[in-house]
Amino acid sequence: MRYRASLLIYLKEGVLDTQGRTILRSLHDLGYGEVQDVRVGKYLRITLEAADESAARRQAEAMCSDLLVNDLIEEYSLVVEEEGK
Give the pLDDT confidence of 14-45 residue by residue, as tens digits.
Answer: 999 999 999 999 999 999 999 999 999 999 99
- Which residues is 16 bridged to in the sheet? none
- In this predicted structure, what is the pLDDT of residue 31? 98
- In this predicted structure, what is the pLDDT of residue 85? 67
**Dist. CA 14–CA 59, nearest whole Å:** 29
pTM, rounded to two decimals: 0.84
38-62 b/e with 16+ CB inside 10 Å = b?
A: eeebeebebebebeeeeebbebbbe
Identify the DSSP state of 83.
T
The average confidence (pLDDT) of the chain is 96
- In this predicted structure, what is the pLDDT of residue 82? 96
Give the pLDDT mean for 52-66.
98
Domain segments of the chain: what residues?
Answer: 2-82
> Of 3.30.310.50, 2.60.40.2470, 3.30.70.60, 3.30.1280.10, which CATH number belongs to 2-82?
3.30.1280.10
Cα 15 to the center of its chain, rounded Å: 15
Decide: 69 and 76 in contact? Cβ < 8 Å: yes
Give the pLDDT mean for 52-74.
97
